[in-house]
Amino acid sequence: MSDYKLSVQKDKQSATILLEGRLTVANIEAVHKELTKNLKGIKTAEINVTNVDEADITLLQLLVAFHKKFIKQQLEFKINLSLNGELNNLFTRSGVLKLLNTL
């Protein structure tokens, strides 16, 4: 049983993914596998992160890695974060929000 939820809406060119729940080292490998599978061959991706119960640095690393991969391939990639105060502070203080906006 997983502590996270990953929902996908996609067509041949684009994908919108919703990530929710517990996004920590305990299940980030499974999240990575699902993202990789669902983003293969996609030219435009949007990841929405919301209703997060718990997150750690592995989520930040994962989002940055996918962002860099898409940008390097000159593909469109967007991340929308809707986080509670504590998690928003983690993303802000780590510099990830700024990094994602400048890549």
Q: Where are the domains of the chain?
A: 4-102
pLDDT the model gives residue 1:
47
Which pLDDT value is given to residue 102? 57
The first and second tokens of residue 102, run together, are 């400048």
Structural element, H or E, at residue 9: strand 4-10
pLDDT along the chain (103 residues), means of 10: 88 95 95 95 94 89 91 91 82 75 58
pLDDT at 56: 86
pLDDT attached to residue 87: 82
Question: Which homologous superfamily is 4-102 in?
Answer: STAS domain (3.30.750.24)
What is the per-residue pLDDT for 42? Answer: 93
So what's the pLDDT on residue 101?
63
